[in-house]
Structure 1
């Protein structure tokens, strides 16, 4: 799913009006009607007090359309205008007149904290104060209104975006933003719904189709894409009946040190479970028996040193190499890594201590092949690119780093983001159960196993992150968040693949339910 910028949304609105020969007021009517339809389908006429708070721009106009339809359908509606400026949009004024024509209970103008209405916990708040065009901090009394919303504990529904939240920069004060239980977003979700610092402002979201021009939606390239099943499925490579292991590549996992052989074991198992034809693990001598005993499907190559990697030499011809998992940052290991990079000709995935080595010795970055994948956790990322002020600053620094070195960077988190140049791919699978030791090693192994089969490194990263999260989503049903461990993610990887081809279950009709009984 494309995630449009606010500038693109404005352009889409303009093109839609031109191509469909409708006015901006008509488009606003569509938007407000769609919100009403969403609420009406769920409320079915329930007489819960609904407080619709409207700004004086187009977001407020959407709120007025909604309030008008709620009133004409018999709902218990209170409409408020947040009188924070003398400037009113044309479409707001048109809809302000329209709502006055359908009710004697005209909208109430609010200009200060003393005028705030009483809101009970069982009421519903509709936030239509500010939209995506907000470009300045909110007034102090408006901030107090948003705090009043939150203190009421009433369910809050935001229109398009929670008011006070920007689409392209961080929030200075969390009290200046509406904390929504649900956001109905037009055309596409907003990037801020998926970033750690701003995702908290909406618990859930849904996209509403307001009939924007289809050619615009299809042809417009976006910087951000949201990744789900429909986005990864076209990239799936099926297997032929007469295929054999040699066609699916040879993965080499290089890493491990004394006490950290388990990380290599997890990554190796994950690579084979993701479909690699062969997997070899290159480890210090201390890892030989552990790997041979715990993972008999893998081949094991050992370093001359007992406890750490001091050279990387092998007779095999790997399709892809992963380096760094559990390797430590001993000077001899760094030297071995550098010597390997100078002769390597195959795709690379670098994780954990491999990233720490790059941060420690930046000249190694010049030796990485184009589209090498880095999978850092936050501290490793910080060592690599430096500190950042907020999520947006972090993304800009990662994009600059990616473009400079032509690398793929995977930013791991609740919504992991794959970054390559200016493009961001936001993942939608996964859960808090992945906050466990070894889950990152498994993810690295899955990505490596996909590259081994012929997936492009960028596709493998996007697809691998999706499968990793989907496997955890399936496994958590059996183990819960607390008891999910990294090995479970590997065990359920097959079900994640199978889920790609499952059709959603259709709701049964009353007659079908009766027949089953």
Structure 2
């Protein structure tokens, strides 16, 4: 699924009007109807009380006027508050006189703002994706008044005051919604941590925008969902053998951090790798042989940390980082790996920290290397980000510069590809905020990169989606708070099976 900019969203609206031969008021009626359908499916008239609809002077306000009319027709008690303005959009003007006389309407002016009782259901239809400047004056006063009320706010398309695809100016007021109901496609602003307080939970409702335009528009941001991944993971051949799915080498663990090696190894095996060899310091030999008997184990000469590489010739992919520490000879082993590897690499955790502390090593990254940093690890590789939008630009630039794939972990983990495309994952839950979940992702990435049937992009996309999906499956049994990283590997197979391309008749 493509993510469009605010400008592209306006183009999609225009293309829909042209393709269907309809007026913009018809599309507004359609959008407000699906919004009202969403709301009434979740909120009965007896539970809603009197619904307050706050309308701005533009088309978002027009959406609110239509929703108020439709709610009234469905038996809800509704009143409308209008933000005073000298000029209104044509579609707003069209829908203003269509409000039933029984719906109270009043201008909400600074200094005369009526009280909003806590718990009141408020539909925020003040401003939408067309907003280009921060709110001020009467609009800012109304938003601050609403935020102070502790109401149950549902925003239409975007919380008012929030820019669709650009950072907010400091101290710019934005509605703090409990729910945001957006049309057709998500907006970038909904996916970023800095906007979470304003967005609340977001939901997408279809309005039937032009399929032609959506297919043809050139987007550089995408949502990773099952539809995007369809056909990327082939079924296993009947006569496959362990060599078919690759031999992976995992360099992991140090004294006190052998659990990271165990988690990554288990995940790699559950990810379908044909053979797995794990090299650990001597202190970890018994741990690995006992905890992961399916893996072969190599012992590093050093007792407590990794210090050298084995012969890389047998392997189809190499992963390094979980729990390895940052000793000098571990850094030397990483440098040796970067200079000698002729197979795909997956780097995480302390491998990334070593790169951040020794940035000249970044120039040695082989093309198509896959890095999986969390935001702090990524910051060590680049620079502190001013905001989430700046961080995405740093991510895009880094992937382009070093011709690599980078998974910036978090809610809606973002994969940057060497061509500058960004992919936001849609699976996973807050249960992943636990130690070791990143090690599980490393192992899964390694398994899929070792599978020679998969292109680098496909392997990375499948890994982040299946990792999050495994967390969703696990949380159904453990709850999010009870989820631990060790729960994840046992659900990876099911997550991948859901994505496997079935053999056609």
TM-score, scaled to structure 2:
0.93
Tell me which moved more, 435-444 or 144-153: 144-153
Moved more, 350-359 or 451-460: 451-460
SS class of match (1:2): coil
Deviating above 6 A after TM superposition, structure 1's stretches of 4 or more consecutive aligned residues are none
CA distance in 2, matches of 1:340, 1:122: 59
Shift of 1:59: 0.7
- What are the residue-to-residue correspondences of 1:311-330 with 2, within 5 Å? 311-314=308-311, 316-330=313-327
Q: What corresponds to 1:490 in structure 2? A: 489
Deviating more after overlay: 114-123 vs 234-243:
114-123
Deviation at 1:166, TM superposition (A): 0.8
Q: Residues 332 and 229 (structure 1 numbering): CA distance in 2 closer, same or farther, change over 3 Å?
A: same
> 1:258 matched to which residue of 2?
255
**Alignment of structure 1 residues 505-516 onto 2, 5 Å:** none
Is this contact kept in 2: 1:301–1:314, CA < 8 A? no
The alpha-carbon deviation at position 306 of structure 1 amounts to 2.1
Partner in structure 2 of residue 36 of structure 1: 36
Compared CA separation, residues 475 and 73, structure 1 to 2 (3 A): closer
Q: What secondary structure sits across from 1:115 in the alignment?
A: coil
Structure 2 equivalent of residue 52 of structure 1: 53
Q: How many residues align?
A: 498
Q: How does 1:177-256 map to 2 (within 5 A)?
A: 177-256=174-253
Shift of 1:412: 0.7
Structure 1 counterpart SS, 2:486: helix
Instruction: Please give the per-residue CA displacement for 1:380-426, whole angstroms capped at 9, x wherever unaligned.
Output: 11110110111001111111111111111111112211111422211
Whole-Å Cα distance in 2 between the matches of residues 38 and 269 of structure 1?
42
Q: Which range moved further: 115-124 or 62-71?
A: 115-124
- Look up the match of 1:111: 109
Work out which of the residue numbers 277, 293, 297 in structure 2 matches 1:300. Answer: 297
1:42/1:439 Cα in 2 relative to 1: closer, same or farther (>3 Å)? Answer: closer
Task: Name the stretch that deviates more: 222-231 or 52-61.
Answer: 222-231
1:257-300: CA deviation from partner (whole Å, max 9, x where unpaired): 22222212221111111000000012222222221122111111
Report SS of the residue matched to 2:175.
Answer: coil
Which moves more between the two structures, 190-199 or 115-124?
115-124
2:443, 2:366 → 1: CA distance? 19
Residue 156 of structure 2 contacts residue 182 of structure 2 at CA under 8 Å; is this kept in 1?
yes
Is 1:372 aligned with 2:373?
no
Moved more, 34-43 or 190-199: 34-43
Residue matched to 1:481: 480
Judged with a 3 Å threshold, the aligned counterparts in structure 2 of structure 1 residues 320 and 155 are, in CA distance, closer, same or farther, namely same
Q: Distance in 2 between matches of 1:332 and 1:70?
A: 68
Match of 1:461? 460
**Partner Cα distance (1:306, 1:356) in 2:** 22
What is residue 132 of structure 1 aligned with on the other side?
129
Distance 2:34 2:209 in 1: 13
Tell whether the 8 Å contact from 2:270 to 2:489 is kept in structure 1 after alignment. Answer: yes
Indicate conservation of the 8 Å contact 2:281/2:305, yes or no.
yes
Query: 1:82 Cα shift?
Result: 0.7
Deviation at 1:86, TM superposition (A): 2.2
Gaps of 5+ in 1: 503-517
CA shift, 1:18, in A, is 1.7
Q: 1:125-164, aligned counterparts within 5 Å?
A: 125-164=122-161
Whether the aligned pair in 1 keeps the contact of 2:30 and 2:207 (CA below 8 Å) is: yes
The CA distance in 1 between the partners of 2:145 and 2:437, in whole Å, is 41
Tell me the alpha carbon deviations over residues 331-356 of structure 1, each in whole angstroms, 9 at most, x when there is no partner: 22222222222221101111111112
Shift of 1:175: 7.1
Q: Which residue of 1 aligns with 2:63?
A: 62
Matches within 5 A, 1:280-359: 280-314=277-311, 316-359=313-356
Distance 2:158 2:70 in 1: 21
SS of residue in 2 equivalent to 1:197: helix
CA distance in 2, matches of 1:354, 1:176: 41
Does the 8 Å contact 1:180/1:203 carry over to 2?
A: yes
Task: Specify the alignment match of 1:511 in structure 2.
Answer: none
Residues 136-190 of structure 1, C-alpha deviations (whole Å, 9 max, x = no match): 1212443332233233333211111111111122234577111112222112111
Deviates more, 1:473-482 or 1:486-495: 473-482
Q: What's the secondary structure of 2:249's corresponding residue? A: strand
Q: Indicate if the aligned counterparts of 2:235 and 2:500 stay in contact, CA closer than 8 A.
A: no
CA contact (8 A) 1:150 1:179 kept: yes
User: CA separation in 1, counterparts of 2:38 and 2:477?
Assistant: 33
Closer, same or farther: CA 492–19 of 1 in aligned 2, 3 Å: closer
Alignment of 1:77 with 2:75, yes or no, is no
Scaled by the length of structure 1, what TM-score is found?
0.91
Query: Structure 1 residue 500: deviation in Å?
Result: 4.6
Pairing 1:8–2:8 present: yes
Deviation at 1:90, TM superposition (A): 1.8
Give the Cα separation in 2 of the matches to 1:261 and 1:227: 32
Equivalent-residue separation in structure 2 for 1:359 and 1:75 (angstroms): 58
SS in 1 for 2:481: helix
- Residues of 2 paired with 1:470 and 1:5: CA distance? 27
Pair 262,39 (structure 1): closer, same or farther in 2 beyond 3 Å: closer
Shift of 1:368: 1.5
C-alpha distance in 1, partners of 2:40/2:270?
A: 47
Cα 1:402–1:498 change in 2 (3 A) is closer
Aligned to 1:17: 17
